[in-house]
Amino acid sequence: MKNQVIQLNIDDADRYAPDYFLNICGFKNREGDKYKRLLDHGMQIKDRIIDTIDLKAVISSFDKDIISGNTAQIGDVVFVCNAFQQLNRDSIQKIYAYVFTSGGCELNDQDPIMDQLYTDIWGTAYTDAGLEVLKQLLKDDFEKNNGVSNGEKVATILDPFGPGFYGMEVDQVGKFFEVLDGDKIGVKARSSSMMLPLKSCVGFFVIVNDDTKLPSADCKSCRADHKGCEYCQSKIKSI
């Protein structure tokens, strides 16, 4: 799989997006007229922008050989991330690099600030939801291509990670566009850390065949050097 374009069904993303929206807004499990009015307003904004949401990704797959220590090297491009070092290399079945976008997700600049805020939150919610759908599609595709029978579990796909996660510097965003053709889905890297459309992201999915897990949620946003982290060092020594 190299620079394969995957168009996602928004109906599939709708299974997750409303919950993500509620969580981001802090509306989940809130009662009272105030929160009902705020939620109604948010749902009205969703109806206004739904036609601008276009969930798609460009994907390339790689074998475990690209991983060495805390790096992944694809051709001449080297990615550095503490998460790589937490993986059991022998358990890795497939690695997918991706560029993903939710499309425009924008209102006119003249719209009220609250409307623009809700629009931004919905864009984030659909991005997260789209990645959840993409994750399942990649797992299903891997199992199909590797002769897995229905109901037989031989692989686990880990949560996606990329720049900004597990010590991976945000200036590595541009590197994904050196190995993936973002133009195929209309995504461009405008700087070392910014993409257009804004509701776009890059990263890796990793499929493993054991109980390998990425570090805890507390480590997900870690920017530290793994060499100075007691947790990372203890994990490395156990591998």
Domains within the chain, CATH numbers bracketed: 6-238 (3.40.109.40)
Cα dist. 51→99, 102, 215 in Å?
21, 11, 37
Q: Which residues of 33-72 are buried (b: 16+ CB within 10 A; e: fewer)?
A: eebeebbeebeebbeebeebbbbbbbbbbbebebbeebeb
**Are 195 and 78 a contacting pair, CB within 8 Å?**
no
Would you state the pLDDT for residue 239? 42
Would you state the pLDDT for residue 12? 97
Would you state the pLDDT for residue 216? 60
Write out the chain's pLDDT in tens, 239 residues. Answer: 899 999 999 999 999 999 999 999 988 888 889 889 999 999 999 999 999 999 999 999 999 999 999 999 999 999 999 889 888 888 999 999 999 999 988 777 788 999 999 999 999 999 999 999 999 999 998 988 886 655 555 689 999 999 988 889 999 999 999 999 999 999 999 876 789 999 999 999 999 988 877 766 555 555 555 555 544 554 544 44
d(CA 213, CA 88): 9
Would you state the pLDDT for residue 218? 56
pTM: 0.86
Would you state the pLDDT for residue 221? 53
